Chain A
Amino acid sequence: MGLEPQFETVYKRPDTFTPTTTHYCPGCTHGIAHRLVAEVLEEMDLQEKTIGVASVGCSVFAYKYFDCDFVEAAHGRAPAMATGIKRVLPDRIVFTYQGDGDLASIGMAEIVHSTARGENITAIFVNNANYGMTGGQMAPTTLPGQKTTSSPAGRDIEDTGYPIRTAEMLATLDGAGYIVRRSLHDPKNIRKAKKAIRLAFETQERGLGFSMVELLSTCPTNWGMNPVQSLQWIEERMIPYFPLEDFKVSPNLSQVRV
């Protein structure tokens, strides 16, 4: 007693995380997004009342990493599945974790209508400007000129149209309670992203409607870059097209301090 050095824990693995390694590629920021969600679930003491909905894409195995009840949706259908769960168990916390191919392409109808209904669920939307799991094809978020395995000469907007700014679009719907875009490319932005994720879950807890945090995320493997170049690419290329803003914040959230 008294002789042991006193250490304060300043950093630990959240209890809401399972003790496993993830399947994500080195340098991918999915791991950061996962950790931020896990930290928020822990801080808000939501572990025992949360049901996650994994999607199809790189985050298909998300159910392995969060230590809470989880289901696995079909490609694009996570918001519909989350709706089914939430309508039957309205006092639980239900969130989807979806990529850009899943949410903004094949699942666009489901996310739009979940937002329009003011469905009291939270979507964590990881935008890395390509289809990661299938090896880097063009996504609805792929930037003009960006090379992918299905736009090898660079995305030609004359032929394939323009990237979709999903957060801006969903924010036009009255059912939206909290819609913002954040980025995971540096510590400052990661802290902002965490605060946004917290507010998204606070939105759901308070029954203020649909909440979504769009997270700009790296994909070094499919972008053909090293992790540092990928972080720079977010800053230099993605953020100018996908601005980091609050697109819809329910006035009722103004009293929430996080």
Chain B
Amino acid sequence: MAKELLKGNEAIAEAAVRSGLEAYFGYPITPQTELLEWLSVRMPELGRTFMQAESELAAINMVYGAACTGARVMTSSSSPGISLMMEGISYIAGTELPVVLVDVMRAGPGLGNIAPAQGDYNQIVHGGGHGDFRPIVLAPASVQESIDLTGEAFKLADKYRAIVVVLIDGSIGQMMEPAELPPMQQVDRQRPNWAVTGAKDRDRRILSSIYIDPENEEQTNFRLLERWNQIEANEIRYKEYYLDDAEIVVVGFGTSGRVALSAVRAARAEGIPVGLLRPISVSPFPYARLKQLSEQACGMLVVEMNSGQMLHDVQTAVGGKIPVEFYGRMGGVIPLPDEILEQISRLCYEPVAPSANPRESWMDRMDLAKN
């Protein structure tokens, strides 16, 4: 297939269609809506299920029902809508169903605005609803990667009977880039051996997240955890740039990782030995690789479009061995490569104590910049 100029949201939608998506349920919200609109055309013309629900609450529960039949299902939303889906996400996790969810993040809290942000990191990576579980979260940084990871998300969801979130921000959803779509895959209407389809010629099946006996619930919690251990062992994904001889390691996911790459290239041109680690699976998080890098580097810089959420995961990986600095923009502001380059230079020429509080010093620097 040749490359085409594709918009992020539409590319994800079409990639889902070509991955054999059987049913989609969603609700309009900016900056995600093109995804829903694309599927409102494509799904019916292919004889598949599309529905615009009355709310995100209903959408995720329609997904829950459809997933119980073993169908390949997906929904998508943006930050406030994802908040409304949290209950359903937890039920889906508790019932151990494969579902793909796309979160096109915007700025918050509250209504916030419709500009790109990464403030849902904690909500998704360390959250995903009440109870004890972890979702798989993939964070692409381009339209092509969004296409590829959408296909991957369905495979992982099936493999682990788990929720897989494709986490992008509004800029990736809205931008147009040349990208290549995968070949069309037909819907697989064969049902797995746990699906509810009507108890014809077999014993009846019950799908539920209820375990009224605490011992049984604990067993379920352990089962989910064992599966998570497999996920951590097999599904960590990241991309490395210029890390072989790097003394400074920049860490950023999605759009901030992409902007950071421009800064890293500019810093390399100035002769600064810096590289970038861009986590693609932010859950499971590449702790081990970051720990390794902390033995090689003398400092790290975490760049995010939030107030430092992934920062804590990087700090956990590094364990205080080397200074970890932070640079973030919030509220829908995208950091520019020059801003990040300035931080890389500072880290290179002005050593920082490992004990310094990265968020406090970042806020001090932002104040200085304002004055």
A and B bind: yes
Contact with A along B111-153 (1 / 0, CB 8 A): 0000000000000000000000000000000000000000000
B 145-199 contacts with A by CB, 8 A: 196-199
A47 to B200, CA, bound (A): 8
In the complex, which of the residues A53, A72, A87 has the most CB atoms of chain B within 10 Å of its own CB atom?
A87
The chain B residue with its CB closest to the CB of A18 is B204
A77 touches B88 (CB 8 A): yes
Q: Which residues of A contact B210 (CB under 8 A)?
A: 60, 72
A113 to B63, CA, bound (A): 16
Question: Taking A71-B65, A83-B65 as contacts, is the C-beta distance between A63 and B198 under 8 angstroms?
Answer: no
Contact with A along B325-358 (1 / 0, CB 8 A): 0000000000000000000000000000000000
Q: Return the contact of B23 from the options A54, A84, A110, A112 (Cβ within 8 A).
A: A84
Report the minimal beta-carbon distance from A118 to chain B, rounded to whole angstroms: 13
A89 within 8 A of B: yes
B228 within 8 A of A: no
A92 within 8 A of B: yes
Q: Return the contact of A113 from the options B54, B198, B208 (Cβ within 8 A).
A: B54
In the complex, which of the residues B53, B66, B68 has the most CB atoms of chain A within 10 Å of its own CB atom?
B68
Question: Taking A70-B206, A81-B62 as contacts, is the C-beta distance between A88 and B22 under 8 angstroms?
Answer: yes
Question: Taking A80-B53, A84-B64 as contacts, is the C-beta distance between A70 and B196 under 8 angstroms?
Answer: yes
A63 to B208, CA, bound (A): 9
A208 to B53, CA, bound (A): 21
The chain B residue with its CB closest to the CB of A75 is B87
Q: Classify chain A's interface size.
A: 20 to 34
Q: Return the contact of A71 from the options B22, B23, B73, B207 (Cβ within 8 A).
A: B207
B91 touches A89 (CB 8 A): no
A48 to B198, CA, bound (A): 5
A93 to B91, CA, bound (A): 23
A 73-99 contacts with B by CB, 8 A: 73-74, 77, 80-89, 92-93
A246 to B184, CA, bound (A): 49
Question: Taking A49-B200, A77-B88 as contacts, is the C-beta distance between A72 and B51 under 8 angstroms?
Answer: no
The chain A residue with its CB closest to the CB of B25 is A84
The chain A residue with its CB closest to the CB of B207 is A71
B57 within 8 A of A: yes
A81 touches B206 (CB 8 A): no
A83 touches B51 (CB 8 A): yes
B58 touches A49 (CB 8 A): no
Q: Return the contact of A72 from the options B200, B204, B209 (Cβ within 8 A).
A: B209
Interface secondary structure of B, over-half rule? mixed
Interface size on B, residues (CB 8 A): 39
A107 to B5, CA, bound (A): 43
B88 touches A69 (CB 8 A): no
B 18-60 contacts with A by CB, 8 A: 22-23, 25, 49, 51, 53-55, 57-59
B61 within 8 A of A: yes
A74 touches B198 (CB 8 A): no
B196 touches A51 (CB 8 A): yes
A83 to B66, CA, bound (A): 8
B204 touches A69 (CB 8 A): yes
A190 within 8 A of B: no
A 41-73 contacts with B by CB, 8 A: 47-51, 53-54, 60, 63, 67-73
A109 touches B62 (CB 8 A): no
A84 to B68, CA, bound (A): 9
Report the minimal beta-carbon distance from A39 to chain B, rounded to whole angstroms: 18
Q: Return the contact of A85 from the options B58, B196, B200, B204 (Cβ within 8 A).
A: B196
B65 touches A80 (CB 8 A): yes
Report the minimal beta-carbon distance from A200 to chain B, rounded to whole angstroms: 18
B290 within 8 A of A: no
Question: Taking A68-B204, A69-B204, A72-B208 as contacts, is the C-beta distance between A92 and B198 under 8 angstroms?
Answer: yes
A92 touches B57 (CB 8 A): no
B199 touches A81 (CB 8 A): no
A69 touches B205 (CB 8 A): yes
A83 touches B62 (CB 8 A): yes
Question: Taking A71-B196, A72-B209, A74-B91 as contacts, is the C-beta distance between A87 and B49 under 8 angstroms?
Answer: yes
A109 touches B55 (CB 8 A): yes
The chain A residue with its CB closest to the CB of B68 is A71
Report the minimal beta-carbon distance from A90 to chain B, rounded to whole angstroms: 9
The chain B residue with its CB closest to the CB of A49 is B198
A171 to B55, CA, bound (A): 22
Report the minimal beta-carbon distance from B311 to chain A, rounded to whole angstroms: 33
Q: Which residues of B contact A49 (CB under 8 A)?
A: 198, 200
Q: Return the contact of A84 from the options B65, B201, B204 (Cβ within 8 A).
A: B65
B 200-222 contacts with A by CB, 8 A: 200-201, 204-210
Residue pairs across A and B with Cβ atoms less than 8 A apart, 19 shown, are A48-B199, A51-B197, A63-B206, A69-B197, A69-B204, A72-B95, A73-B61, A74-B64, A80-B61, A80-B62, A80-B65, A83-B62, A83-B65, A85-B69, A87-B23, A87-B62, A87-B66, A88-B23, A113-B53
Given contacts A77-B58, A84-B61, A84-B63, 12 further A-B contacts (CB under 8 A): A51-B198, A71-B206, A80-B57, A80-B61, A83-B58, A84-B25, A84-B66, A88-B49, A93-B198, A109-B54, A113-B54, A113-B58
Identify the A interface with B (CB < 8 A): 47-51, 53-54, 60, 63, 67-74, 77, 80-89, 92-93, 109-110, 112-113
The 5 A-B residue pairs with the shortest CB-CB distance in the complex, in nearest-first order: A84-B65, A72-B208, A81-B65, A80-B61, A84-B62
